[in-house]
């Protein structure tokens, strides 16, 4: 892993690692970042996956890991099911003839009823 993959901007998505001394605290592993946060405040927050380095939203399951991973990288029943469903969707999209895209219309809704 190279440091150049990290953004040196002031704002970045934190990549978390659990504190060695306090299981309730996660800190950012970014070399220039001193951010840390209590686990309970990280649920529902966006972070960088420790494996694939993509952004994901953390929940209680992910925060059981010392180094939280996104659902795609998690080796849990949920993660496997997620990966499987993604593969199935990809397979369907690949097998589908190009014209089928026309059938995927956005769901109706959100019509504004203003007069
Ligand atoms: Zn950070
Ligand atoms: Zn990942």
Ligand number nearest CA of 29 is: 1
**Banded pLDDT at 47 (limits 50, 70, 90):** very high
Nearest CA to 14 among 25, 102, 111, 22?
25
Residue-wise pLDDT for 49-86, tens only, equals 999 999 999 999 889 999 999 988 887 677 778 888 88
Residue 34 Cα to ligand 1 middle (Å): 7
Burial class (CB in 10 A: 0-12, 13-18, 19+), 72: middle
Residue 55 Cα to ligand 2 middle (Å): 8
Specify the 3-state DSSP secondary structure of 26. Answer: strand
Instruction: Locate the domains of the chain by residue range.
Output: 11-64
Ligand number nearest CA of 12 is: 1
Q: Are the CB atoms for 72 and 85 separated by under 8 Å?
A: no
Ligand number nearest CA of 52 is: 2
């Amino acid at each position: 892993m190279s440091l150049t993959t990290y953004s040196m901007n002031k704002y970045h998505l934190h990549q978390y690692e659990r504190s060695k001394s306090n299981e309730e605290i996660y800190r950012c592993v970014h070399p220039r970042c001193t951010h840390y946060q209590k686990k309970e405040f990280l649920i529902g927050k966006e972070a960088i996956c420790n494996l694939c380095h993509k952004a994901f939203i953390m929940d209680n399951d992910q925060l059981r890991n010392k180094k939280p991973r996104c659902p795609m990288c998690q080796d849990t029943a949920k993660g496997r099911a997620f990966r499987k469903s993604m593969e199935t969707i990809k397979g369907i999209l690949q097998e589908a003839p190009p014209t089928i895209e026309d059938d995927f219309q956005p769901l109706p809704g959100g019509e504004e009823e203003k007069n």
